[in-house]
Structure 1
Amino acid sequence: MENADFRPELRTVNVTRYVTPLREGGSLPAIAEADDDFLYVLKFRGAGQGVKALIAELIGCEIARLLGFRVPELVFANLDTAFGRSEPDEEIQDLLKASVGLNLALHYLSGAITFDPVVTRLDEQLASRIVWLDALLTNVDRTPRNTNMLVWHKELWLIDHGASLYFHHSWDNWQEMSLRPFTQIKDHVLLPLATQIEQADADFKAILTNERIRSIVDLIPLSWLGNEEPEARRDVYYEFLIRRIAASEVFVKEVQHARAATV
């Protein structure tokens, strides 16, 4: 975590077998097997939010990993044009056809169970750190209804950051959005435990240097960034994140305000 030479890398695998759809949500992720013989949760570029959800997943997952959270290994997953031709489900076949090329996949944690705050009590330091991460990423999808955390081998794992960074669904005011408080943090499943948010802020700002953020953003494939000035669009993600980190007191205060309203 303190490695100054931090250089994230993602392996690329080829998808060889579609195993089963995961019906949670509207994007129809699936369990699939790759040519390394591992099972993955495959996120498709042809799904509802398209490559933007994959970009959010990539950035969110790799920032979480840098900060020391447990996250499944993330890989680029290549889908061949011939893949899925024999799939009998028409909706799935359309999804596979629309997803030819580079997709994103997470190592499948077989046997993992959904985190339940009633069953598994987290310590306040860890809870504060997760809340800080989600306030940075503007992650709207870590609520009591859908925690997007798993317990695997008695350890907590963070998954599914595709709903983060929602500024990129409308590029017009990204500078302003980078400095906004994250009011949806009031719905965060771990907000009541986030008593150490200021310590999390100090610890994490020391880790998230501009160079490390750049190395994560540079992982975004140009093919996911559109045909018009993809390098410039990649730079927007970098600028958004470093501005938001520099102004973190804005979302830290919002966390404190939202938590005070619940106690």
Structure 2
Amino acid sequence: MKTPDIRTVNVTRYVTPLREGGSLPAIVEADDDFPYVLKFRGAGQGTKALVAELICGELARAIGLRVPELVFMELDNSFAQTEPDEEIQDLLRFSVGLNLGLHYLSGAITYDPLVSVAEPLEASKVVLLDSIITNIDRTHRNTNLLNWKKELWLIDHGAALYFHHSWNGWEASAARTFPMIKDHVLLAKASQLTEAAAVIKEALTPDFVSAVVDLVPDDFLTEEGNPVSPAEKRAVYKTYLNTRIANLEALRKEAEDAR
């Protein structure tokens, strides 16, 4: 499978904040003339949310799920200097440099489990992917799914891979199942978990996982006061994900039992 190629663009215009997001993402325009949803490095979870967004988004794309194009976005300090809102001004100031953006799906609507479309195989792949990446944020309360042009699109994986908020004990975390899958918004529609597991096993090989993790810039993996190097962190992400993919049958059975 071809390794993803992540473009880098420059933010040229801050359009409007998306205040329904806890980290205050924003719609911006870039020098390629496209609109994006910008995820800020200066938001609450910092660059860890950007790491999760990048890795999980590209894993989802690799198994045939729809994810808006991800791009690296350079933000300069001129935006903070002209922003009148103090909260946004601080966010912009703390986010100067490299950030992450998702192509803005104009006209998309939030997924409604009562009326929106989700095919069984598609739903099954989302459920198992979220088990692998320990995504706690795809529930009826907050679906992080969109319907755009009558298709299902995945957004906002910043809360996934939550083991990386504390590097201690990551090995045990990798070996666990994911009981919170019982609350997944697509679980009832996930009737083809066996077929979905086969697709995931074929696509998410160790080589592909390694290539995706290697997309993460050193800049996102460097923390003040944390002695763990970017190379060491990448090795942990790779081992963590490969361990969970190797345990996919246990995750599939857990989801099946929860259904």
Q: Same fold (TM over 0.5)?
A: yes
Q: Is the CA contact (8 Å cut-off) linking 2:117 and 2:151 kept in structure 1?
A: no
SS of the equivalent of 1:171 reads coil
Task: Measure, in 2, the Cα distance between the counterparts of 1:34 and 1:60.
Answer: 23
Counterpart residue type for residue 28 of structure 1: L
The 5 Å alignment of 1:97-246 reads: 97-226=93-222, 228=227, 229-246=229-246
Write the deviation string for residues 36-82 of structure 1: whole angstroms up to 9, x where unpaired. Answer: 11110000000000000000000110001111111101000001122
Could you tell me which of 85, 89, 92 is aligned with 2:85?
Answer: 89
The match for 1:54 is: 50
* 1:231-263 CA distance string (max 9 Å, x none): 11111111100111011122112112211xxxx
* Aligned counterparts of 2:199 and 2:105: Cα–Cα separation in 1: 29
Q: Show the counterpart of 1:79.
A: 75
Equivalent residue letter for 2:135: N
Structure 1 Cα separation of the partners of residues 156 and 119 of structure 2: 22
**How far has the Cα of 1:151 moved from its partner?**
1.0
5+ long unaligned stretches in structure 1: none
Q: Give me the identity figure in percent.
A: 61
For the 8 Å contact 1:15–1:32, the answer to whether it is kept is yes
**2:247 corresponding residue in structure 1:** 247
1:21 to 17, 23, 41: 17
* 1:69 aligns to 2:65 (yes or no): yes
RMSD in angstroms over aligned alpha carbons? 1.1
Q: 1:120, CA displacement in angstroms?
A: 1.9
Q: Deviations over 1:83-103 (max 9, x none)?
A: 321100000000000001100
TM superposition outliers: structure 1 runs of 4+ over 6 Å? none
Task: Name the CA distance, whole Å, in 2 between partners of 1:153 and 1:232.
Answer: 41
Cα displacement (A) at 1:132: 0.8
When normalised by structure 2's length, the TM-score is: 0.96
Distance (Å, rounded) in 2 between the aligned partners of 1:29 and 1:171? 26
Amino acid at match of 1:75: V
State the SS of the aligned residue for 2:42.
Answer: coil
Q: How big is the shift at 1:146?
A: 1.3
Distance 2:69 2:122 in 1: 20
The Cα offsets for residues 166-204 of structure 1, whole Å up to 9 and x where unpaired, read as 010111111111111101101101111222212211221
Which stretch of structure 1 is more off in the superposition, 143-152 or 46-55?
A: 143-152
CA distance in 1: counterparts of 2:72 and 2:258, whole angstroms: 37
Contact 2:9/2:73 (8 A) holds in 1: yes
- TM-score relative to the length of structure 1: 0.94
Q: Determine if contact 2:118/2:152 at 8 Å carries over to the other structure.
A: no
Aligned equivalents of 2:221 and 2:142: distance in 1? 29
